[in-house]
Structure 1
């Protein structure tokens, strides 16, 4: 490492580069240095062996530089340019020198650090549509990547090994810290959760959900470039940390948003991802993976502190980070009380808008009839079926199939330990009764959220939505007229578990109060189901 430190100091001289560079900015992590010079960035791996990675020899660093280039070109070919040999000596290095290589660097196209999503979020510049685009990009990457894991990777044993290693490596470095006492109950929970879900881990691999993923999917490894999200810096150093369940990969983003104080955006990202993938079956494993991802970051903080070279203030920051990640892992280990909420309202009444706010503030998983209906017929959420009233996707038999599928998915979500919101018209009492029966069967609170708007407002919204063409709903004015003729209002006995929200100035405040109540005490909000 001494020769490497000398090399890095020498490469901080702009004159070492064969392209314009007014200054060189150095970024250091626990496993690498990144030199930002002019229009390019050069990433050099530290000569370390941390167990889960081994960069201890020059040959290994060369191999993993090439792997980094190969793997990241799947995600960001515009950024990853080449592997550059460094010749000369540590005190007098030559990038691309003709002599024997003393080190290797991954050469990347540089982009503004302000474009990193973690920076953008800290500056308040990440918009909900941008986060939705990130979720869609992650979903696309997962759909397109290889799904034939090598032997031994993605098995239950391979899943749990890094979880155990996290605890061991943190204990070696943080045992003397005050938060060290938090490790034992977290380790016990992880072991128990793994044992309980062992068959689920095996089934996920068998059904194709273990894929060659990113592996380190947090906001610091995402950028907003040319008005689109770019994922980069995937794991190259350990195939076992890359060949993982897609929901494990997704969990890192969710955990990171929680850690940055934005549980609302975490829930938005998760729901958008699920809406585009339909992978609700992964929810049963999500708490385990969320805890694992928090422990990964705690481990990284501990390793960085153990390497030295930090100022007292930096060391204190790292210690605080470790404590925060352990606290977050403990939060994920505490299951929430599931509850079931269904909507009732005509097209254009604001069901999707209302449930979007609710899911972000309450931690719920939303199921949209407009999306799941299309998924049943092999269509993407934004596809147009051109179905007329009572025809195609909206024929009576398709309608029945859609509500049955929503009920199946709601059961799956609830039994995974998450609250569920079902966003559908529910204009027939028999449809509402079926979901209330599901809640009674599972012994969980149930509520109907009735959305109300004047008829002229319903029509205006439907026309506006059709003109924009961005929503999954295909409801037309003809659909609305049919609903108005055949809809069954809330019966007197249903009012005991129904709350009505009317479009207007107080709508958002009413929904926020509802979300707060469902988070704090869902049983009190749905007293009809208190046994």
Structure 2
């Protein structure tokens, strides 16, 4: 709440998503708005009381302004919004997680969207630390089924509690993409899919240069993914070889246009 008040919703979103990724406590989103509102209300009360005990007019006016601002924020946290489901797909190294991180603070309730990352969920489901590399068993059919079952459940829960979701995964199979689209229909929320692509050499270089990343993908995995039969991709396509600032700006523009069409 204090980070949001100071204009650092991006940091606040990082804190929220790090907690959710490690704990899996998606049910906490159900009461997050009330929690943030109560904290802002306390801050408003403290600032209002403190304003009565200041020696200068400037100090008094500053704290009065703070109290009013905190009170407005407390009310805002309790407002309901229609959540959105956003999917970001593409081969390893295309920048899905970087884009998700950039988009999340701009979407839905402050501090922003819940980012459901398949790599993180897989590690959590298997009881492995985020930076610990999985063996081949971690990518077996059974492990993958457990991962995606948990993924879909967490998406549903977050949307039910009124929070937008950004789901980050390869989603190379048409059935996986259709599943997310159908889930949005089931939950009666807006959906937008982004498909990121870049030349193979760019993808290989990126995954090779990774350090302390949740993803276990390396250049060998990228080359294997490159021959997948991805099928027709109907999601909005983005050139992931560009800088993240350019990709983020374009994706936000597409998102704004998509949501505007949904409300018209």
TM-score by length of 2: 0.91
Work out the CA distance in 1 between the residues paired with 2:253 and 2:113: 12
**Alignment correspondent of 1:298:** 44
* Aligned ranges 1:166-181 → 2 under 5 Å: none
Aligned-pair Cα RMSD in Å: 2.0
Work out the CA distance in 2 between the residues paired with 1:449 and 1:274: 23
Q: State the shift of 1:506 in Å.
A: 5.8
Work out the CA distance in 2 between the residues paired with 1:419 and 1:371: 18
Ranges in structure 2 where 5+ consecutive residues have no aligned partner: none
**Alignment correspondent of 1:484:** 226
TM-score by length of 1: 0.47
C-alpha contact 1:361 1:516 (8 A) present in aligned 2: no
Relative distance call for 1:506 and 1:459 in structure 2 (3 A) is closer
Work out the CA distance in 2 between the residues paired with 1:399 and 1:500: 26
Greater fraction of residues in strand: 1
Q: State the shift of 1:522 in Å.
A: 5.2
Work out the CA distance in 1 between the residues paired with 2:223 and 2:247: 28
Flag the structure with more relative contact order, 1 or 2, with Cα contacts below 8 A and sequence separation at least 6.
2
* Aligned ranges 1:44-443 → 2 under 5 Å: 255-306=1-52, 308-362=53-107, 363-385=112-134, 387=135, 391-443=136-188
**Alignment correspondent of 1:461:** 206
Relative distance call for 1:429 and 1:505 in structure 2 (3 A) is closer
Greater fraction of residues in helix: 2
Relative distance call for 1:474 and 1:439 in structure 2 (3 A) is same
Relative distance call for 1:292 and 1:513 in structure 2 (3 A) is farther
C-alpha contact 1:342 1:448 (8 A) present in aligned 2: yes
**Alignment correspondent of 1:121:** none
Which structure has the larger Rg over C-alpha atoms? 1
Which 4+ runs in 1 deviate beyond 4 A? none
Ranges in structure 1 where 5+ consecutive residues have no aligned partner: 1-254
Work out the CA distance in 1 between the residues paired with 2:17 and 2:232: 28
**Alignment correspondent of 1:515:** 252
In the comparison of the two structures, how many residue pairs are matched? Answer: 260
Q: State the shift of 1:309 in Å.
A: 4.4
Q: State the shift of 1:449 in Å.
A: 0.8
Any idea what the Cα deviations from partners look like across 1:316-362, whole Å, max 9, x if unmatched?
11111111111111221222321111122111111111111111332
Relative distance call for 1:345 and 1:487 in structure 2 (3 A) is farther
Which of the residues 181, 197, 200 maps onto 1:452?
197
